[in-house]
Amino acid sequence: MKRNLSTLIFAILATLVFNTSAMAADEAEYQAALANARQALADAQQQVQLWTTSEVLLEEAAEAAASGNFDLAVEQVNEAVLHAELALATAEREKKVWQKGVPK
Amino acid sequence: MRLQRRALIRSLIAAAAILAVPRWLFASRPDKAFDADNADTVISDLFDSPLIESDQVTLKVPDIAENGAVVPVTVSTDLSDVESISMIVDNNPTPLVALFELSPQSVGEVSVRMKMGESSVVRTVVKAGGQYYTASKEVKVTIGGCGG
Amino acid sequence: MGSPIKIRAKIKDDIAEVKALMPHPMESGVRVDADTGEAIPKHYIQEVVCKHNGNVVTKAFWGTGVSKDPYMAFKFKGAKPGDKLEISWRDNTGDTSVKEITFK
Amino acid sequence: MKSFFIACFLFLAVASAHATPEEDRLALREFFAQRFPDMDLNEMINGLYAFDEGAREQWVEMEDFPPYEIAIEDGEGAFNKTFANGKSYADCFENGGIGIRQNYPRFDTESGEIITLEWAINQCRKDNGEAPLPWLTGELAAISAYMAYTSRGNEMSVVIPDDPRALEAYESGKEYYYTRRGQLEFACENCHMQSAGNKLRADTLSAMLGQATHWPVYRSKWGEIGTLHKRFKECNSQVRAKPYEAQSKVYRELEYFLSYMSNGMEMNGPASRR
């Protein structure tokens, strides 16, 4: 368990270092992020209603990528995934509280 | 003989009916006024004498339009010899919405539903007895989309 | 041939009250097709003629500012049960529609 | 013996946690009766026009010759056309399809599906070898409008049969109605119960009671007649939740719950709305 946690922390740190490094994102990185995002969105949609913003962000990412701005493209793709995670979080919370609104 | 006379009378009546047919203001649609992009041009194109504000012209439109796509408007008047009734929405891309021509048989009241892109002055001009009478009202258009 | 006109008419104290609904897109020419991004061409009724027993009682000229599926109402004197009422329209493409009813 | 008591206790616990649909419906009416003590609750079948006098006047004027009449006429024509096999819609429905709108959606104990009226219309087509129609607008909505028109004045009478699957579907629809969703985190309830009758920007919000009695609807905003599921999709988009497909299980369950809540109210479809 402890080992898992430290692996996770290492992974997060590694990601941060990678992302903040001076290296600009390229098309390959965008494609990888996109594939990852598509999977994450599809998984999330199985469980809850996603936000429409996720798709809008992916469209913005595609536009940015088309104009060669892969930094922005990757950023928008990650934002899309974040919005899917937030949708999941809302759904988790709502499972516990939705009945409060029902008149008794 | 008798039959012929009847036919003659009938044709005379028919001719009288034709003579009684009103002289329409516009033989065809006044396209120029309908294409004009501001209300002043519409008014100067259509009406050849000054407009007179009149409380004998009733313009019924909502204060706040429920939906700009469908704004009900009814114009009615007590004036006699009404020849035409037109509706103009100042802020529409082409302000002239409709021009109704009435025959002497008509009652001075017409309704139509019109589009309004934004809040605007709505005016009507009634031609009666050769004069132009007008009434106007400010109509607020709100843009929404969540009602139901 | 355009869609059929719907007419509702009644006689009250010698005055005919006529209401008509005319299925028609009334395209103003300023709307853009969301799918193709192209402007939807103008398509609207320009002239409506109303006849009582063959005589024109009201003529309407319309611009693009009349609502979709136009509605109009008007009144005239001297109508009797059994009289004919005809309403017809012509749009900017030359399309027409005619409908005749008999007063009850 | 002991286990019997435990069983009883568990049963009571479950029963009190889950009110019956009828208890839900009565509690909902009580909720609105308290929020709007001066209003006849049955007025709520007219949506926002129950609340907004200025809008109501224009709506009444529209009702003089409402734009949905075109759809009723088209729908009647389509309804009475015979299929290639010689049968027609009338053969698929009880009472020849006339005056039955108030019984939909219904739970089909055979298939376990919620059958909305639109679902039944397309099922009828499929059973008779015809291609199904698109769900949101057009011919299907027109047929639905005609069938609703023949049912005006009847009372909404949605039935939840004694079948655990039916109750489950009802409960799912109920949970959906009260669950916040989308980036704006709004539940249907937030707008149509807590804020019913209030303005959201320029629009007055309708109440949940009576929300299912008047479909399909000619919305001026759409410029055509559309089905309830078209509105569901639009509501979802408005709170920035990715809509489901029309007639998906989720939406049919939602309609089942929503319609049951309007039970006893007058059917008044089709209707026109802003």
Asked if the domains at D19-66+161-273 and D69-149 fall in one CATH topology, the answer is yes
* Residue D113 reports pLDDT greater than 90: yes
Give the pLDDT score at D12.
47
The pLDDT tens digits of the residues spanning C60-82 come to: 999 999 999 999 999 999 999 99
Q: Does A102 contact chain D (CB < 8 Å)?
A: yes
**pTM, whole model, 2 decimals?**
0.81
Q: What pairs with residue C74 in β-bridges?
A: B110, C18
- Provide the pairing of β-strand C15-21 with B82-89: unpaired
For residue B31, being part of any structural domain is answered with yes
Cα nearest neighbour of C45 on chain B:
B98
Q: Does B65 contact chain D (CB < 8 Å)?
A: yes
Q: Which of A45-49, B14-18, D247-251 has the lowest mean pLDDT?
A: B14-18
D223: amino acid identity, one letter: G
For residue B77, being part of any structural domain is answered with yes
The pLDDT tens digits of the residues spanning D121-160 come to: 999 999 999 999 999 999 999 999 999 999 999 999 999 9
* Residue B81 reports pLDDT greater than 50: yes
d(CA D225, CA D223): 7
The full DSSP string for C85-100 is EEEEEEETTS-EEEEE
Q: Does C68 contact chain D (CB < 8 Å)?
A: yes
For residue B21, being part of any structural domain is answered with no
Report chain D residues whose CB lies below 8 A from the CB of B147: 47-48, 200, 203-206, 273-274
Q: Do B103 and C76 lie within an 8 Å CB cutoff?
A: yes
Q: How far is B43 from chain D (nearest CA, A)?
A: 28
Cα nearest neighbour of D243 on chain A:
A49
Report chain C residues whose CB lies below 8 A from the CB of D69: 6, 21
Answer yes or no: is the ipTM higher than 0.85.
no
- Our count of domains for chain B comes to 1
Tell me if residue D235 is catalytic.
yes
Q: The tokens of D178 are what?
A: 């009260």
Q: Do B66 and D274 lie within an 8 Å CB cutoff?
A: yes
Q: Does C93 contact chain D (CB < 8 Å)?
A: no
For residue B22, being part of any structural domain is answered with no
Q: Give percent of chain D above pLDDT 70.
A: 93
CA dihedral in degrees (C64, C66, C68, C72; nearest 10)?
A: -150
Give the pLDDT score at D203.
81
Considering the domain D69-149 in this protein, what is its CATH number? 1.10.760.10
The pLDDT tens digits of the residues spanning C5-54 come to: 999 999 988 899 999 999 999 998 888 887 888 888 999 999 999 999 99
Domain D19-66+161-273, classified CATH 1.10.760.10, yes or no: yes
* Residue A13 reports pLDDT greater than 60: no
Write out residues 18-37 of D within 8 Å (CB-CB) of B: none
For residue B20, being part of any structural domain is answered with no
* Residue D3 reports pLDDT greater than 70: no
Is residue B116 within 8 A of residue B71, CB to CB? The reply is yes
Helix (H, G, I), strand (E, B) or coil at D16: helix
The overall average pLDDT reported for chain D is: 92
- Block residue for tokens 């469209």: A59
Give the pLDDT score at D250.
97
Q: B40 lies in which domain range?
A: 27-143
The pLDDT tens digits of the residues spanning D16-46 come to: 456 899 999 999 999 999 999 999 999 999 9
Give the pLDDT score at D264.
97
The overall average pLDDT reported for chain B is: 84
Between D64, D67, D70, which is nearest C19 by CB?
Answer: D64
In which band, very low, low, confident or very high, does the pLDDT at A45 lie, cut at 50, 70 and 90? confident
d(CA D66, CA D270): 10
Phi–psi pair at B52, nearest 5 degrees: -110, 120
For residue B18, being part of any structural domain is answered with no
Q: Residue B76 sits in a domain of what CATH number?
A: 2.60.40.2470
Q: How many helices (H) and strands (E) does chain A have?
A: 4, 0
The pLDDT tens digits of the residues spanning D48-105 come to: 999 998 889 889 988 889 999 999 999 999 999 999 999 999 999 999 999 999 999 9
Report chain B residues whose CB lies below 8 A from the CB of D61: 72
- Give the rounded distance of the alpha carbon of B121 from its chain centre: 16
Ranges of each domain in chain D = 19-66+161-273, 69-149
- Provide the pairing of β-strand D271-273 with D217-219: parallel
Q: Does D221 contact chain B (CB < 8 Å)?
A: yes
Cα nearest neighbour of B116 on chain C:
C65
Q: How far is D34 from chain A (nearest CA, A)?
A: 11
Spatial CA neighbour of D25 closest among D174, D169, D191: D174
C85: amino acid identity, one letter: L
The single residue of D8, D92, D188, D235 carrying the catalytic annotation is D235
In which band, very low, low, confident or very high, does the pLDDT at B9 lie, cut at 50, 70 and 90? low
* Residue A21 reports pLDDT greater than 50: no
* Residue A14 reports pLDDT greater than 60: no
In which band, very low, low, confident or very high, does the pLDDT at D221 lie, cut at 50, 70 and 90? confident
Q: Give percent of chain B above pLDDT 90.
A: 68
Domain C6-30+39-102, classified CATH 3.40.50.40, yes or no: no
